[in-house]
Every structure is written in structure tokens, then in C-alpha cells.
Amino acid sequence: MAVLDLFDLPKGAPLVGLDLGTKTIGVAVSDGLWMTASPLEVIRKTKFTDDAAALFKLMEGRGAVGIVIGLPVNMDGTEGPRAQSARAFARNVLRIREAPIAFWDERLSSAAVNRMMIEEMDMTRARRAAVVDKLAAAYILQGALDRLRP
């Protein structure tokens, strides 16, 4: 299986959204109707096979059928090393297990989430650090879900 267009993801079951960081993977999950994305968990990166196993376990537990990965595109629309890393992650996932995967432009997702946590939630820096990755994953997934809605 290859990386899919967002509109080719399988319908009728939850999706997971991923915010890939250097040390963590933020994970969010949608409802089966693709209306709402909710932050789920942060996977602390160790070995890729262990990270993938943790991801698959979360997907199975939620009945998720597809993955939306945040693609960190540069502000000018080009792809740099972080985007290449996200694409490599998707290729490596597909080597372990077939899974419908699509990318979603994540420009400024972490910045938007941090701003929301500071301005609207009045969170401390320590609390923001603990939840930013899974909230960014939810922000990414919600953007994709909103695009999929007619």
C-alpha cells in the first residue's frame, strides 16, 4: 500500500492523527463519523519498531483504520528535512503493516496550539510541554477532518 490522497482514506471508522517530533509522537483520534478529533496520547520515541507497535496498539484499541500524519512543510511550500523525516516514517510504517496513510500540511500547528494554551487556557510552561504534542496531533487531524467534510 502506498500513501493515499486524503479523500481515499477508508470511511466509517476512526482515524488517528500524528504529530511527529524528534523525541515524541503526539497521537489524536477521531470519532467514526469524522466530525471531531480528540487528543489521545504521547508516545515517547525509543526504537522505531517499538514506536510503531505502540501506535498500532492504540489504533487497534480505538478501531482506527487510517493514519493522518502532519507534514511539516516550510512556509514557502517546500519540503525540508523534517518533511522528509515524516515521509520516511510513513514508509517505515508501511514496511511493517499495511495501513492507509495520508499527509496533512501542519504548518504552524504547534504555534497555534501553544498560543491557545497560553491565551485561552492560561497553562504553565510545564503543563504545556506535557500536552502540546497530542494537542498538535488533534489540531492536525481536525484540519484534515474539516477538509473531508462536504
pLDDT in tens, 76-116: 888 999 999 999 999 999 999 999 999 998 876 666 665 66
Question: In Å, what is the CA distance from 10 to each residue of 16, 64, 81, 116?
Answer: 12, 10, 29, 31
Minimal CA–CA distance to 113: which of 76, 138, 89, 92? 138
The answer for residues whose C-beta is within 8 angstroms of residue 5's C-beta and 6 or more apart is: 102
pLDDT at position 67: 96
In degrees and rounded to multiples of 5, residue 73 shows phi and psi of: -80, 145
Q: What is the pLDDT of residues 24-34, one digit of tens each?
A: 999 999 999 99
Instruction: Please state the pTM of the whole predicted model.
Output: 0.86
Q: Is the pLDDT of residue 7 over 90?
A: no
| 67 vs 55: CA distance, rounded Å | 10
Taking residue 26's Cβ as centre, other Cβ atoms within 10 Å add up to: 29
Domains recognised in the chain with CATH numbers: 17-148 (3.30.420.140)
Q: Determine whether 10 is exposed, middle or buried from the number of CB atoms within 10 Å of its CB (0-12, 13-18, 19+).
A: exposed
